[in-house]
Amino acid sequence: MYCRRNQERGLPAQLQEILEQSAPKPQLVILDQVEEILTNPNPEIPDEGEALAGLLQQALTHDPRRQFILGFRKEFLAEVKTWLKTQPGMDDVGVFLQALDRQGILESIQGVSKDRELQRKYKNLEIAPGLAERIADDILHDRQSHQAPLLQMLQRKMWDEVAGLPAQAAFSEELYGAVRQNSLGGMLDDQLKRLAARFPREVEGGLPLDVLAFYTTSGAWVASRSRSDEELQQAYPHIPHIAAFKHALTALFLLTDSATGQPGAASRLAHDSLAPLVAGRLQASERPGQRARRILESKQHDIAQGVASFKDADDIAALEAGRPFMRVWTPEEEAALYRGKEALDTQRAREAAMRQSNFDFAKTRIEEAILHLEYDLAFTKTVKALDLNYEQEQLARLLEEIGFVFHACGQSDRAREALQALSGLGLPQYAPLAAALPGIINQPGFLPLLETLEHIPDGAAPLIRARYLPEMIMVSGGSYLMGSEEEQPIHAVTLDGFSLQKTPVTYWQYALFLQQEGLQVEKPGWGRQGNNPAVYVSWEDAARFCNWLSAMEGLQPVYQMKGEKVSADWSTNGYRLPTEAEWEYAARGGVEQKPYAYSGSDDLDVVGWFRENAENRTQPVAHKRPNTLGLYDMSGNVWEWCWDWYEYYPFDAQKNPIGQSTGSDRVLRGGSWYGHPQYCRVAGRLSNTPGNRYNYSGFRLARTL
């Protein structure tokens, strides 16, 4: 029975397994590659040689008829004898196996035609006259090579070619020429596959070819050359296991050496014919080590002059990927790579800055279009910005917002177009939206879509809700004195709790209604900006907006409108205008009732926009300080419509007053951007015809609790 050492298991364990086999018991056991106990030791079996000798002694004591053959290279004879001497009564006979000579090669080839048993096995194989001699001459041309493995490989491959043929098998000159041309290449491929079982990372990286090339000459005529173990260590200091790796190449008959571990030990390729083959594979291989080697070689002249650098990002990536699987680099090569990486980093930083600048410019233009309610333009610019292939998630949030606005405005096709563009980005968080979109897009109201968007991680839903839906502040009920020295009579009012919008209705919110209802309303001279309060709003417009928004959110409308007649159902949960009493109560701070002249302060400039600071126009909401309830812009910016018909105050105390049932003018409160401070007081009042629109009139929403 033949057994070759396995480094992981160790020869003692392998031999023990053989000895424990059931009958028939093997009487002759060949243990090969014994020297690997020394050249490729297993750290977990530190006394493997002594253990093997002990097991052999036990086996021979139990059955003296057994015979064991230990195969190893002759330079390790002394070490093997030392192991055997540790066991008493161990007799051994040393036999040196000489390398194949010419006669041995001829006998190996011609023997099949002279032995009847071999003739039957190999189908009366014929050997062309003179072929055996030619093969012997070719193999012996490089006397330091491994002749036996080469001969074995040649004969095996030739037999594989003819074994399946229907005609009589024959080894011809033509067959030998074809096989010989590919035999070394086939052997190299086969051995590298075997090497990969032990060194998978190194083989994948291309280290074997780099190490084999280390044992070749450079120049036009490539040949094998000897290298000492010291030279190998100096060439591959970054690979701690290079000695074990070299030994593996030797065990696979790719390298041959003299006295490993001895002074002056040197190695070379196993056969001279391997040298040009390795050189060719080195140029053809796409493994990282070979790609990096070719890149370095292409720059060697400039590297030697100290002027080379690698400017191509792919080349630099290839060099860094292949570097662990190559011989050590020279300082000049290191410097060239450093210059290349430094230049690439500078270039990448410049490109990144340019990409960021282009993106920032595009995003700013998109946000400006959204601010000015130009959503078609914003959509066009967003789609174009996607071509930058940069910050896609930010652009996706803009598409969410644009798609929501199209949907809320009743533009289903445009909404579908914008929201479907999200699925084309390949961002996983938008997959559920793509699946749900067909069932959502035609539903009434915008809450189903908004609720779907709210399930998207880090999406635009919070911004959409804050920008396009009113944020309501709870106002607890209580009593206060309504009116002032200028607005007489001062009278007691008691109110139940209600909610009031945090800011006046903005153009972002109001424009949805205008678009869906198809209303053509005059624009202010400064243009419509989404974060500014809506103006040119009549009282009737505001009431219709309340009902529209209630329907969009699935709430019960408060107002019944028949021509110019408007009645209110105060028990419903929809949006409405605040009563004048609710407005003043909230402006004064609700239950706390701060005695400020303006809502939140005695300094109007702190809390409101008016003639002296507004620059002759409305300003973005919530940019001044809020009052104690967290309400913004209750003083200044725009006059705000209230429910009530304008009338003189009553003298007696009131409970949830809603004013008269008829009248000619409706109440506005709070002052505006063009007004003087006295008009911005919490008690200040104004009246106007319900159907009139002005560039200073707006509103905010209320709801009954």
For residue range 68-94, list pLDDT tens digits in order: 899 887 767 888 888 888 888 776 777
Q: Minimal CA–CA distance to 565: which of 690, 658, 669? A: 690
Task: Tell me: pLDDT of 263 over 80.
Answer: no
The rounded mean pLDDT for the chain is 90
Q: Give the whole-angstrom CA distance, residue 511 versus residue 674.
A: 23
Confidence of residue 294 (pLDDT cuts 50, 70, 90): very high
% helix, strand, coil for the chain, step of 5: 50, 10, 40
Structure tokens at 129: 């006259």
Task: Tell me: pLDDT of 321 over 50.
Answer: yes
Q: What is the pLDDT of residue 259?
A: 46
Q: Give the whole-angstrom CA distance, residue 287 versus residue 209.
A: 10
Lowest mean pLDDT among 96-100, 118-122, 135-139, 597-601: 96-100
Structure tokens at 400: 């969410």
Angle at 135 between CA 132 and CA 138, to 5 degrees: 150
Lowest mean pLDDT among 194-198, 441-445, 589-593: 441-445
Q: Give the whole-angstrom CA distance, residue 310 versus residue 94.
A: 59
Residue range 176-198: mean pLDDT, rounded: 82
- Phi, psi dihedral angles at 549 (to 5 degrees): -65, -35
For residue range 350-377, list pLDDT tens digits in order: 999 999 999 999 999 999 999 999 999 9
Q: Give the whole-angstrom CA distance, residue 624 versus residue 643.
A: 26
Task: Tell me: pLDDT of 118 over 90.
Answer: no
Angle between helices 412-423 and 375-385 (to 10 degrees): 20
Structure tokens at 85: 């001497």
Q: Which helix (H) or strand (E) holds 688?
A: strand 685-688
Q: Strands 702-704 and 575-576: what pairing?
A: antiparallel
Lowest mean pLDDT among 138-147, 178-187, 510-519: 138-147
Whole-number Cα distances in Å, 131 to 137, 174, 690: 10, 10, 117
Q: Give the whole-angstrom CA distance, residue 527 versus residue 702.
A: 27
**Residue-by-residue DSSP string for 583-643:** HHHHHTTGGG----SBTTBS-HHHH---TTTS-SS---TT-S---TTS---SSSSSEEEEE
Q: What is the pLDDT of residue 142?
A: 58
Classified as helix, coil or strand, 433 is helix
Q: Minimal CA–CA distance to 277: which of 193, 383, 189? A: 189
Q: Give the whole-angstrom CA distance, residue 379 versus residue 34.
A: 76
Q: What is the pLDDT of residue 144?
A: 54
Residue range 334-343: mean pLDDT, rounded: 90
Angle between helices 131-140 and 102-110 (to 10 degrees): 140
Sign for the pseudo-dihedral over CA of 86, 90, 93, 98: negative
Cβ neighbours of residue 223 under 8 Å, at least 6 residues apart? 216, 217, 272, 275
Q: Are 362 and 387 in contact (CB under 8 A)?
A: no
Q: What is the pLDDT of residue 24?
A: 64
- Across 15-157, the runs of DSSP E, i.e. the strands, are 28-32, 67-70, 126-127
Structure tokens at 647: 């009338």
Start-to-end Cα distance in the chain:
96
- Burial (Cβ within 10 Å: 0-12, 13-18, ≥19) of residue 103: exposed
For residue range 396-425, list pLDDT tens digits in order: 999 999 999 999 999 999 999 999 998 888
Q: What is the pLDDT of residue 260?
A: 44
Q: Give the whole-angstrom CA distance, residue 194 versus residue 212.
A: 16
For residue range 534-566, list pLDDT tens digits in order: 999 999 999 999 999 999 999 999 999 998 899
Task: Tell me: pLDDT of 298 over 70.
Answer: yes
Q: Minimal CA–CA distance to 59: which of 31, 36, 79, 35? A: 31
Q: Minimal CA–CA distance to 138: which of 190, 177, 174, 182? A: 177
Confidence of residue 429 (pLDDT cuts 50, 70, 90): very high
Task: Tell me: pLDDT of 659 over 50.
Answer: yes
Q: Minimal CA–CA distance to 643: which of 578, 703, 564, 574? A: 578
Q: Are 267 and 256 in contact (CB under 8 A)?
A: yes
Percent of the chain with pLDDT over 70: 95
Q: Are 27 and 58 in contact (CB under 8 A)?
A: no
Lowest mean pLDDT among 6-10, 105-109, 144-148, 219-223: 144-148
Confidence of residue 183 (pLDDT cuts 50, 70, 90): low
What's the residue count for the chain? 705
Q: What is the pLDDT of residue 26?
A: 66
Task: State the number of CA atoms in the 13 A half-sphere of 616 facing the CB.
Answer: 2
* More confident site: 166 or 656: 656
Whole-number Cα distances in Å, 457 to 396, 429, 430: 12, 7, 9
Whole-number Cα distances in Å, 82 to 55, 166, 262: 15, 56, 18
Q: Strands 666-669 and 639-645: what pairing?
A: antiparallel
**Residue-by-residue DSSP string for 143-199:** TTS-HHHHHHHHHHHHHHHHTT-SSPPEE-HHHHHHHHHHHHHHHHHHHHHHHHHH-
Q: What is the pLDDT of residue 261?
A: 44
Percent of the chain with pLDDT over 90: 61
> Cα dihedral angle (378, 381, 386, 389), rounded to 10 degrees?
-120
For residue range 154-175, list pLDDT tens digits in order: 887 888 888 888 877 888 888 8
Residue range 654-661: mean pLDDT, rounded: 95
Within 10 angstroms of residue 67's Cβ, the number of other Cβ atoms is 11
Sign for the pseudo-dihedral over CA of 107, 113, 117, 119: positive
For residue range 204-225, list pLDDT tens digits in order: 999 999 999 999 988 767 888 8
* More confident site: 574 or 61: 574
Task: Tell me: pLDDT of 434 over 90.
Answer: no
Q: What is the pLDDT of residue 145?
A: 56
Structure tokens at 144: 């330091």
